[in-house]
Structure 1
């Protein structure tokens, strides 16, 4: 399928003027990013369905696995901050994930009251099974890029991520009409 077939020309653009030099190609890039985001969300939904968990649960498990790979130990407070949820919501989430066998809690040996959190072995295996084929194919696509292309993609996606994570600027005050 050609680029034009995937992205038929439109009479006007919602955000950008497609007649402006270079904007049309840049719009194609942003459309491709949007298509990938939709496909990525579908992939995560399939994993959630296969693991019988919701989106927040999946995010929590993936975060705990990432912490383990970085040789960091996660705590309930860390998980609350990562997920941007209250401590009460985190307690409920941890109870659910512990009961389902996805998370293991341990008492922190340095502080008898604090908890350390870990994804269970079965949680690692379920996630790996749910995403393995897809991740292998994604890796193959990344390996097919030249070194320069890999650097460009990393730069592009990191810059896009930084913008997406920026807090929204406050709205400009509007001037009231004089009576």
Structure 2
């Protein structure tokens, strides 16, 4: 679909026509989501600066903490899948985070070879210092909502998350075409 560059879309109508019923108020909801995403990114950048780590490091540490809170043991493979990075990149990440004292590795006692990953107590403390004040304020906002509003927000954000996690239709079509081609295999194989 081509676009006439001499006739660009009117401001605020890039994807949506605000003349359609309900679109104008829905656009405000999406703008609020975007504002929150920008603010959330800024909060994470502050935490990264305080902890002197990069974004991937922060995501890894948060994942390990979440696993611990859920009584799950994380492995390098789990972390690779969560971060969507190669095993080589994961090995570098783990070496860096171990050297900086943010994580510790233990040999899995079940097989004596596989590694189990844990955030160090220092990482737990740094994370609490970097984010606890903000998280307490966020919790106060959530507690201030009625039960019905809380349920509506959860439903809305879960639906938005599911959509955001969907692969782009062009990617799905390319993968399907590659799988259908002679000798082709799906990307996940």
Same fold (TM over 0.5): yes
Partner of 2:87: 87
Q: Larger relative CO (CA 8 A, sep 6+): 1 or 2?
A: 1
**Does 2:54 align with 1:54?**
yes
**Does 2:39 align with 1:43?**
no
Residues 11, 59 of structure 1: alpha-carbon distance in 2 compared, 3 angstrom cutoff: closer
Deviation of 1:170 (Å): 2.1
CA distance in 1, matches of 2:14, 2:125: 44
Secondary structure (helix, strand or coil) at the match of 2:94 reads: helix
CA distance in 1, matches of 2:27, 2:169: 24
Secondary structure (helix, strand or coil) at the match of 1:170 reads: helix
CA distance in 1, matches of 2:83, 2:132: 24
The size of the alignment, in residue pairs, is: 164
Structure 1 gap segments, 5+ residues each: 1-9, 174-179
CA distance in 2, matches of 1:51, 1:109: 31
Partner of 1:16: 16
Partner of 1:96: 96
TM-score (norm 2): 0.84
TM-score (norm 1): 0.89
Give every structure 1 segment of 4 or more consecutive aligned residues whose post-TM-superposition deviation is greater than 6 Å: none
Calculate the aligned-residue CA RMSD, in Å. Answer: 1.3
CA distance in 1, matches of 2:83, 2:117: 14
